[in-house]
Structure 1
Amino acid sequence: MSENDCPDQPPAHVGFLLIPDFAMLPYVSVIEPLRAANRLSGRTLYRWSHISIDGQPAAASNGVRIQTEFRIGADAHFDYVFVCAGGNPALFADSATLAWLRQIARRGAKIGGVSGGPYILARANLLKGYRFTIHWEHAPAFLEEYPELDLRRSLYEIDRDRLTSGGGTAPLDMMHAIIAREHGTDLAMAVSEWFLQTHVREGTGPQRMPLRARLGIAHAPLLRAISRMEQTVETPVSRDELARVAKVSLRHLERLFRQHLGRSLGEHYLALRLDRARDLVRQSSLSVLEIALACGFTSASHFSRTYRARFGQAPRTERLSETTAKRR
């Protein structure tokens, strides 16, 4: 029991705002540690409720529907509210939901977001002046829209009354830190062991696997070049610069790309830029020209032709198809 833990203290009320198409795993990774903390402590430390935009059951991205007790605007006290989102949070713009989030923040609730949830917190203007994170899939579109905010590429961030996580299983680590802070490290460790979490990660840990593991490549010069490519999608550097970073000749670097990746240096760089562009087409409302410029193309027409050659359809066509599919 922590020094702040009082047996007569009422349970903290945790609200889960479920945005349609929310990701199930990060939601479960927040709520299950609360259940375990109650069970292992032998006390009701936390209670929880679910909120949806219209008060109806909320559907996750896997089709599972969660019954809700409240709709946004409800006059209820929450100590915490976690916004759970997935899909394409860049397109979320429900003004009533954003206003309600600002209202409960003013009332003193701690506000959290998991997976795509931080995107909605930014929409509600609740992240200015805070350190936070978001799932890496949403980061490129987010940075294009909110370049002034302090986005970190970390597993989770706890900055005063803002609690954000990149999603997946990272909320397990975040909840370990929250439970430890409120009820002591012994209970937090017991909760982690309950879920077979043999290693609790620090919030500053990376969201993605190292390049070496992700690509199955152990060649250091090649990894240095690819790392610089991934960092310079918006403003591609020259082949000579990549060779300098790799610390080998350009001819040798080209051979390494062919040997280990089966394509040229230029082909790999272009693939990275087009993959980033596809994320922005699917995850943002940026125009085709804005996406082209954000991925190092000098014109929308050249970008569209190259995109169609890679993915079989123009960016506008793909965006229309995605939007139509989400409305069905």
Structure 2
Amino acid sequence: MRQTQHFVFILVKEFSHLAFSCAVEPLRIANWVAGEELYKWSFLSEHGEQAICSNGSITLVHGGLSPVPKCDQLFVLSGINMRNHVTKPLLAALRRERARGTSIGALCSGAWLLAEAGFLDEMQAAIHWEYHDSFMEAFPEINLVRSVFVADEKHMTASGGTATADLMLHLIERDHGNDLSVAVADQMVYNAVRNATADQRVSLQSRNGMRNAHLAKAINIMTKNIQSPLSPSIIASDIGISTRQLERLFGKFLNTSPKKYFMELRLERARNLLLQTESSVTQVAFACGFESAGHFSRVYRAAFGITPMQQRARLD
């Protein structure tokens, strides 16, 4: 009889129900397939009675944050609006558990909470792709990766949704072998299990049904140079083709020009920063490669029909 591992999940208000299910169900199925209690789990919330997830459903919990029961693995699980739920009692509980030597990880947007607690400095971390821009602005000292999960750091992180299932299957394989992990995935009818290095979002090649290495390299260069945009001629030179060839590739596969596509990338980054950070419009403008706030505002309004200030005001 193998020793039962105890997983504790701190459910933060507006947590992701999808990530929650993907965290717990693999553990339950592992017990069923193995015919023994390999895992048990407890749910906690700040107030100790229930937790409300982002879809409005209510989950009863086993207790509050003081004390957190002794466990083998503690995960903090949050979802939307996680910055509004970073409370002193939650941070205090996490810090107490770290001092006690508890293994602490985060699911979905939970990496934001660990970052606020100061746990992830100089480490790799994963968070849901929607929060990447604001996370990098808020925590530049953390090495944010686009992988579905990070399991080889002191604090494990998963980017949410089915990435949580990927992490759990990884832990099952680590603790009990590949055969059990595969059997659990089969029971979940989950035949696309990803390893930690898989990207969160479907690749550009898959989304557009193409396999053009030059186009992929060009977009990668654009993505890495949002703050200091490069001209199409420089991008073309960097990947070893002519500007005319680059124009043809963007026209053929994306029905746009390199210049327009690059501007769309910059504006998408700008909108994320306006919605997810407290940065001023001027700061956002410079972070996205615009020479002035006035020019940024004009381009933004032409693209989205509202000014950056109006975009920010919609949050109030």
Output aligned runs, 1:104-253, within 5 Å. Answer: 104-159=97-152, 161-253=154-246
- Structure 1 equivalent of residue 280 of structure 2: 287
State how far apart, in whole Å, the 1-side matches of 2:167 and 2:99 are.
23
State how far apart, in whole Å, the 1-side matches of 2:239 and 2:221 are.
9
State how far apart, in whole Å, the 1-side matches of 2:18 and 2:309 are.
31
Distance 1:263 1:188, change over 3 A: closer
- Structure 2 equivalent of residue 47 of structure 1: 40
- Structure 2 equivalent of residue 25 of structure 1: 18
Q: 1:298 is matched with which residue: 260, 283, 291? A: 291
State how far apart, in whole Å, the 2-side matches of 1:159 and 1:220 are.
30
Greater CA deviation, 153-162 or 164-173? Answer: 153-162
Q: CA contact under 8 A between 1:131 and 1:150: conserved in structure 2? A: yes
- Normalised to the residue count of structure 2, the TM-score between the two structures is 0.91
Deviations 1:105-161 (A, max 9, x none): 222221111121111111111113433222222122111121122322212111354
Distance 1:52 1:313, change over 3 A: farther
Q: 2:270 is matched with which residue: 268, 273, 277? A: 277
Q: CA contact under 8 A between 2:13 and 2:85: conserved in structure 1? A: no
Secondary structure of the equivalent of 1:15? strand
- Normalised to the residue count of structure 1, the TM-score between the two structures is 0.87
Q: CA contact under 8 A between 1:90 and 1:284: conserved in structure 2? A: no
State how far apart, in whole Å, the 2-side matches of 1:216 and 1:185 are.
32
Greater CA deviation, 140-149 or 62-71? Answer: 62-71
- Structure 2 equivalent of residue 257 of structure 1: 250
Distance 1:71 1:160, change over 3 A: same
Distance 1:94 1:216, change over 3 A: same
Distance 1:255 1:192, change over 3 A: closer
Q: CA contact under 8 A between 2:11 and 2:77: conserved in structure 1? A: yes
Deviations 1:71-99 (A, max 9, x none): 23335223222111222334543122111
Give the counterpart letter for 2:46 in structure 1.
Answer: I
What's the % identity of the aligned pairs? Answer: 38
Q: 1:61 is matched with which residue: 43, 50, 54? A: 54
Secondary structure of the equivalent of 1:84? strand
Distance 1:225 1:36, change over 3 A: same
Q: CA contact under 8 A between 2:105 and 2:157: conserved in structure 1? A: yes
Give the counterpart letter for 1:17 in structure 2.
Answer: I
State how far apart, in whole Å, the 2-side matches of 1:59 and 1:301 are.
42
State how far apart, in whole Å, the 1-side matches of 2:27 and 2:254 are.
45
Two-structure CA RMSD over aligned residues (Å): 2.2
Distance 1:317 1:70, change over 3 A: farther
Structure 1 stretches of 5 or more lacking a match?
A: 1-5
Structure 2 stretches of 5 or more lacking a match?
A: none
Q: CA contact under 8 A between 1:288 and 1:316: conserved in structure 2? A: yes
State how far apart, in whole Å, the 2-side matches of 1:298 and 1:137 are.
26
Aligned length in residues: 316
Give the counterpart letter for 2:222 in structure 1.
Answer: M
Give the counterpart letter for 2:156 in structure 1.
Answer: L
Give the counterpart letter for 1:210 in structure 2.
Answer: S
Q: CA contact under 8 A between 1:88 and 1:284: conserved in structure 2? A: no
| CA deviation after TM superposition for structure 1 residue 309, in Å | 2.0
Q: CA contact under 8 A between 1:90 and 1:141: conserved in structure 2? A: no
Deviations 1:208-230 (A, max 9, x none): 22211123444443333222212
